Amino acid sequence: MIKKYQRFLSFGIVGAINTILSQVLYMVFVYFNWMSVSVASIVADCLTMILSYILNMKFTYHKPLSLKSAISYPIAYIPGVLFTALVTTIVAYFGVEKIWAKAICLPITIVVNYFLVSLMVKITSKHEENA
């Protein structure tokens, strides 16, 4: 049981690094009007996903990097990325300062991403062990 809490804490620390970097990129994209809030949200999330993958596999799940997990990892994030893009657009529409709209999604996406990534790691690890 303690190991699961340590894993969640490690995921949270990696996620905090990833989230700060993603939020900064999002804010830059929106501040300079380089793209809409939904596109800025998706692009920022996708750009920071590589670092997130490497750090989570190494420190959270203690699994080797592999082609299978590298392909599966972004797939596990699709629901969170789409949810964030949708909510960011809706929140900005209702008058919340668009530069902060992405931050509103964090409490939900952190939990969803943790469970989906943990499931992905479990599935890809079993398949790699059986291969």
**Residue pLDDT, tens place only, 12-57:** 899 889 889 998 999 999 999 999 888 998 899 889 989 999 999 9
Q: Please report the pLDDT score of residue 2 as a whole number.
A: 62
Taking the C-alpha atoms of residue 122 and residue 61, their distance in angstroms, rounded to an integer, is 9
If one counts the domains in the chain, the total is 1
Segments forming the whole domain that contains residue 69: 2-130
pTM score of the predicted model: 0.73
Average pLDDT of 55-80? 88
* pLDDT of amino acid 8: 82
The stretches of the chain forming alpha helices (DSSP H) are 2-31, 37-55, 67-93, 106-130
Residue 68 C-beta-side C-alpha neighbours within 13 Å: 13
- Closest to 52 in 3D by CA, of 72, 71, 37, 74: 74
d(CA 89, CA 110): 19
- 82-92 pLDDT, tens digit per residue, is 888 888 888 87
Q: Give the C-alpha separation, 99 to 36, whole Å.
A: 11
